Structure 1
Amino acid sequence: MAPPATSLPTADCAVAHPVSDLVGGAPVHGLTVSRGTTPQPFTGEVLGVLSNGIAPGLDMVVAELSSPAIDAAGGIWQGMSGSPVYAEDGRLIGAVAYGLAWGSSPVAGITPFEDMDDFLGAAVAAPRVEVGPRMAARIAAETDVTRAQAGRGLEQLPMPVGVGGVGLARAEKAARARGSTLVDASSTRIGRSGGASAAGIDTVTAGGNVAAVLAHGDVTLAGVGSVTSVCGDRVVAFGHPMGFTGRTRLGLAAADAVYVQPDPLGVPFKVANLGELGGTVTDDRLAGIAGTFGPVPAPTTFTSRVAYAGAARTGTTEILHRSAAADVALFGVLGNHDRVVDGVVGGSQTQTWTITGTHGGESFRLRYADRYRSGSDIGWTGAFDLATVVATLSSSSRTRLDSVRSEITVRDDRRTFKVAKVRQRTGGKWVDVTGGTAKVRAGGTLKLRAVLSGSDGATRTVRRDVRVPKRLQGERGVVSVVGGNVYQDDFWSVRSFDAVRTALRKNLRNDEVELTVSIGGGKDSLERVRRSDPLPRVVGGQKHVRVKVTR
């Protein structure tokens, strides 16, 4: 994506046409883009006005539209939101923003420009606008839409976040697993453009393409719609919210339409590449989005490096809104892994994360490393922990992320260790006490050895000695030996910055073994926790042994 623009698009500073002056049958014309960056004209006529059709005090104009592109697609499309619709005298009626539910239709719901230009509107969502029997009958009489279709109502043209940088099916599955709301099955695919072919910010003119960008680079998350009006360094677009977040800070970018995809089972949609980034979306309101040309939001840089079988790739994404940080971490790791490994395969991987930023004004640097293993899809298995941590950090208003870096080395090795036995050194030899009782004299040393069994038949031992004070004579306890991979979803319950920092420092890695000795109760009890160094394989399984302290 190109650097911030130095020149502004051509302004139109449109004059609003009062909705109260509109009459049924009035001719209209407008501008939109179905391919490239140059707006093309369309025509139509007003069918009527739905009083309070969008929200209390916010009417909706209903019109039937036509052009070669609209006719070819079967109706208006996703990505047409914001396209300006003008009266015969040239005044701006408003923006295409709503369509008939359950399929394509030339009937458009138009958000009045007299409300868009100051972004007034009640703070209530408007997922569907009811169409009364008289309006439904009129729509059916004057278009090829049936009365039943019209009676279902008008709904906001879908504005899902488009995804680039990871396969859509993979992204949808991962987003569902993480609970993301940014990606759904109707997402418009958006590629990443660059170089001389990138659309310049000067193409963000009335009827042209515009994008609200959450992230760009290796992973792209953005919504593409149409410009309603430009005046000075300000632009209004979409005619409906993107996320209805009120004040906001998203990237403002140009876009280049590849084509409009007809959809016989739903609403047609525009496929587009992002162009030059050249401003900030400052408002996400009921009547549309608004932005200012010039500086862009300060980014958080996400970097993913994946190495496998002699190949390596490093990808970078600039995150412009904190709500996208966790999804970028998830899709960035998963997409780069898929690109380098080039297949859904089993294996193992080591990961190292480095996260920098500020919390409460104080700088921080967090580091963590772990090992993952899967018999079927190692990319999937290793993708979620970092995204979970980033989700927690980015959700805090006191935390600002400057950079997130993930380094991954993938191997075909699927071998594992499992905690198989616990042995005690007694009488000069090692005795198997698995499932039994280990006895130790008060004041003596409990000598233990965990035996790890490899999936390939190899064995390994982890030894720990624990001094037992005389005061514990006659007490009982337990020894627990746990492989780190027993505990999954290590970071799901971590909900604060301090908790994240503690978890990254104390979490048991998947390739470590933890041996805990607990004897007695109360203030004189003993608890010793010993952890192995990282092993060359993921370790699963656990064993527990009773302990009795003798005289």
Structure 2
Amino acid sequence: MSLTPRRRRLLSLAMAATLSLGLPAAGFSVLAGPAHAAGPAGDCVQPFPLSGIAAGDEVEGLTVVSGTTPTGFTGEILGVLEDGIAPDIDMIMIDLDMPEFARTGGVWSGMSGSPVYAADGRLIGAVAYGLSNGPSPIAGVTPFEDMNDHLASSTDLRTSPKRLGKADARTVAARAGISVARAEQGFKELPTPMGVSGLSARRLAQLQAKGPDFITKSTYVLGKTSGDKAAGPETIVAGGNLASSVAYGDVAMAGVGTATSVCGDTVVGFGHPLALLGATTEALHPADAVYIQPDSLGAPFKVANLAPPVGTITDDRTTGITGTFGALPDTTDISSQVTYGARSRTGTTAVSVPAYAGEATFYQLVANQDRVVDGPSSGTQLLTWAITGTDNGKPFSLTYTDRWTSTDLSEPSYSVAILVDELNAIDGVSVKTVTAKAGVTDSLARHTLVGIEQRRGGAGGPWVRVSERSPIVGRAGKPVQLRVVLGGTAGKKTVTLSRVILPSKAKGQIFLVAQGGDQGDDEFFFDEEGEGTDEASVAAVRSGLSHQLRHDRIRVQVGTPDKLDLGWWGDDGDYRRSRGVSFVRTQTTRPLDSVVGGTTLLPVVVR
């Protein structure tokens, strides 16, 4: 199967409400008092034409430093960079000033979307870009004229703002107190970095370092609030906090920025894309800023708590995001129940953008397990999962149970997350629910396959250890009785197999292959051979799961080399087929009390 490219990220949480604000009065003044005491701007502010902007014009704006109430800032226009954002989308360069810059050094991530107003109160645009190297008060502003159509015609391509010419670089360098060479590197998007709640910073870094390839590597830890302490929809005003998530709940994945304009039940913000998804189903959230974290090497960033969702982000495009208050997006619901001794907990996460369901599944399963075990798990996990959804409109359900023993029990979550991700990549397939139930113990005991024994002399005869020098011996058309011998830290054990009846035409040498499930590949194959991914479908996944060998089972096969698929056998295997004999007898044991590792290949002499 060809997987769709992976992506992009930024993340957070959940609930609902409706917001309606009045229109601004004529001649409305955005900042009536000192910059730091500015109140929220009125609703449905009209755009200021880009053609009316001139270098030296003074501007005012709004953003949140702490809490939910916007604070004012001032600035001076330096000029307009033609096509500075994208073809036919100019960038307005502005030198901003506010008391907080003394600590942060300039604009910060999370300030994206902060509205900038002309002297007559009309909306010039949204702060969206900062200089490429380190903090600076020089901001690149996305014109509101290009955001005011609610993004319906914006370019669906993420672009890199162009470098500055010599004249513009000299102007910026003089105002920012940096070298011309540094200024020439131009602007970059103020990052709206991926944030994840539900995991500590240390744990998040561990998982990103060794998780599936679709796990985003550059994220930070978010907070979240609910109940009476959560910010409400009334806090999403021009200059107020605005967040957009692809998942929320136990685990939230969201980006925090600023609202540029609120008009009726519609909000426009950020001034650049969150994940550039175009038409989308992200969830719209209020947020409560905790503080602005300085960063001497890059842009400072806003640390915030996400509140439950209050609507849907419908567009995520080049010039920003647009959303509506009220109805929430449909979600894929992920639930995990973990039991560890006397402790048990069930957690849930809702995913509003299907492309992120695999990643959210991974985080949800690991976060809940870490919470119950109180740290990363080492031991044994018995995991049962179920996935439901639709396949071209028809409902489907998949389920599987397996036992894992590892010093890192986040590994089972990898496999489930990968499968969810791959299912969502199949045309016409939509995953609706993922449920997982896990029992965890501290035991690291394992079985190891150490040998095969054959009963000789009929019922009641002795069991004899077989080997390459002392092979299994049988008669054509007659049964042979075998058992598997196990050792390892889980203790000694024998598992008797069902009798294997050899075909009447089988004479000469054939083979036995035995494999413990903990020895194989943990990927879920799309067909019984573990290949054929170009034909990926729900039916193929179901078939692959039916042939998947559990870690606590043993598979034993007796047959001819062609049926055993012994790739190293070579052309010599043709002799068996030329005699008209081609067969395999397969049996799989019941689940054992521990995982089983090891493989063995032994000759079988048929007389």
> In the alignment, what sits opposite 1:414?
444
Whether the 8 Å CA contact 2:284–2:323 is kept in 1: the answer is yes
Asked if 1:424 is matched to 2:454, the reply is yes
Whether the 8 Å CA contact 1:439–1:547 is kept in 2: the answer is yes
* Identity across the alignment (%): 42
Alignment of 1:125-136 (within 5 A): 125-136=158-169
Whether the 8 Å CA contact 1:121–1:286 is kept in 2: the answer is yes
- Structure 2 CA distance, aligned partners of 1:501 and 1:178? 24
Deviation at 1:128, TM superposition (A): 4.1
> In the alignment, what sits opposite 1:321?
353
Q: Please, what is the CA RMSD of the aligned residues? A: 1.9
> In the alignment, what sits opposite 2:544?
503
- Structure 1 CA distance, aligned partners of 2:412 and 2:215? 21
Deviation at 1:506, TM superposition (A): 2.4
- Structure 1 CA distance, aligned partners of 2:516 and 2:398? 24
Deviation at 1:343, TM superposition (A): 2.8
Asked if 1:157 is matched to 2:190, the reply is yes
Asked if 1:542 is matched to 2:576, the reply is no
> In the alignment, what sits opposite 1:312?
344
Name the SS for the 1:124 alignment partner. coil
Deviation at 1:182, TM superposition (A): 5.9
Whether the 8 Å CA contact 1:159–1:242 is kept in 2: the answer is yes
Match 1:490 to one of 518, 523, 530: 523
- Structure 2 CA distance, aligned partners of 1:291 and 1:28? 26
Match 1:527 to one of 555, 574, 584: 584
Match 1:221 to one of 225, 234, 253: 253
Match 1:143 to one of 164, 176, 197: 176
Name the SS for the 2:191 alignment partner. coil
Whether the 8 Å CA contact 1:175–1:181 is kept in 2: the answer is no
Name the SS for the 1:500 alignment partner. helix
Deviation at 1:527, TM superposition (A): 0.9
Q: In the superposition, relative to structure 1, how do residues 373 and 402 fare at CA in structure 2: closer, same or farther (>3 Å)?
A: same
Is there any run of 5+ residues in structure 2 with no aligned partner, and where? 1-12, 24-42, 527-532, 561-575
- Structure 2 CA distance, aligned partners of 1:125 and 1:315? 35
- Structure 2 CA distance, aligned partners of 1:37 and 1:77? 16
Name the SS for the 1:60 alignment partner. strand
- Structure 2 CA distance, aligned partners of 1:276 and 1:349? 32
Q: Bigger shift: 171-180 or 333-342?
A: 171-180
> In the alignment, what sits opposite 1:93?
124
> In the alignment, what sits opposite 1:513?
554
Paired AA for residue 373 in structure 2:
V
- Structure 2 CA distance, aligned partners of 1:354 and 1:28? 56
Asked if 1:298 is matched to 2:354, the reply is no
- Structure 1 CA distance, aligned partners of 2:316 and 2:181? 33
Deviation at 1:243, TM superposition (A): 1.2
Deviations 1:22-74 (A, max 9, x none): 11111111111111111111101111111111111111001111111233211
Normalized per residue, the structure richer in strand is 1
Alignment of 1:2-41 (within 5 A): 3-9=15-21, 12-41=43-72
Is there any run of 5+ residues in structure 1 with no aligned partner, and where? none
Q: Bigger shift: 427-436 or 104-113?
A: 427-436
- Structure 1 CA distance, aligned partners of 2:59 and 2:499? 86
Alignment of 1:111-510 (within 5 A): 111-118=142-149, 119=151, 120-180=153-213, 183-185=216-218, 187-374=219-406, 376-377=407-408, 379-427=409-457, 428-436=461-469, 437-472=471-506, 474-491=507-524, 495-510=536-551
- Structure 2 CA distance, aligned partners of 1:323 and 1:82? 25
Name the SS for the 1:521 alignment partner. helix
Q: Bigger shift: 139-148 or 202-211?
A: 139-148
Paired AA for residue 539 in structure 1:
V
Q: In the superposition, relative to structure 1, how do residues 435 and 426 fare at CA in structure 2: closer, same or farther (>3 Å)?
A: same
Q: In the superposition, relative to structure 1, how do residues 240 and 380 fare at CA in structure 2: closer, same or farther (>3 Å)?
A: same
> In the alignment, what sits opposite 2:112?
81
- Structure 1 CA distance, aligned partners of 2:593 and 2:381? 11
Name the SS for the 1:68 alignment partner. coil
Paired AA for residue 467 in structure 1:
I
Paired AA for residue 171 in structure 1:
L
Match 1:67 to one of 78, 86, 98: 98
Whether the 8 Å CA contact 2:14–2:285 is kept in 1: the answer is no
Paired AA for residue 446 in structure 1:
V
- Structure 2 CA distance, aligned partners of 1:411 and 1:442? 47
- Structure 2 CA distance, aligned partners of 1:511 and 1:403? 27
Paired AA for residue 13 in structure 1:
C
- Structure 2 CA distance, aligned partners of 1:383 and 1:179? 10
Q: Bigger shift: 108-117 or 450-459?
A: 450-459
Deviation at 1:457, TM superposition (A): 3.9
Whether the 8 Å CA contact 2:214–2:359 is kept in 1: the answer is no
Deviations 1:123-151 (A, max 9, x none): 43223431112111111112223323212
Aligned residues: 546
- Structure 2 CA distance, aligned partners of 1:255 and 1:10? 22
Name the SS for the 2:370 alignment partner. helix
Paired AA for residue 484 in structure 2:
A
Q: In the superposition, relative to structure 1, how do residues 496 and 372 fare at CA in structure 2: closer, same or farther (>3 Å)?
A: same
- Structure 1 CA distance, aligned partners of 2:270 and 2:67? 18
Q: In the superposition, relative to structure 1, how do residues 30 and 55 fare at CA in structure 2: closer, same or farther (>3 Å)?
A: same
Name the SS for the 1:382 alignment partner. helix
Deviation at 1:92, TM superposition (A): 1.0
- Structure 2 CA distance, aligned partners of 1:545 and 1:244? 57
Name the SS for the 1:297 alignment partner. coil
Q: Bigger shift: 398-407 or 89-98?
A: 398-407
Deviation at 1:198, TM superposition (A): 0.8
TM-score (norm 1): 0.95
Whether the 8 Å CA contact 2:212–2:418 is kept in 1: the answer is no
Name the SS for the 1:138 alignment partner. helix
Whether the 8 Å CA contact 1:57–1:121 is kept in 2: the answer is no
Name the SS for the 1:464 alignment partner. coil
- Structure 2 CA distance, aligned partners of 1:491 and 1:9? 52
Q: In the superposition, relative to structure 1, how do residues 138 and 492 fare at CA in structure 2: closer, same or farther (>3 Å)?
A: farther
Whether the 8 Å CA contact 2:201–2:220 is kept in 1: the answer is no
- Structure 2 CA distance, aligned partners of 1:305 and 1:227? 37
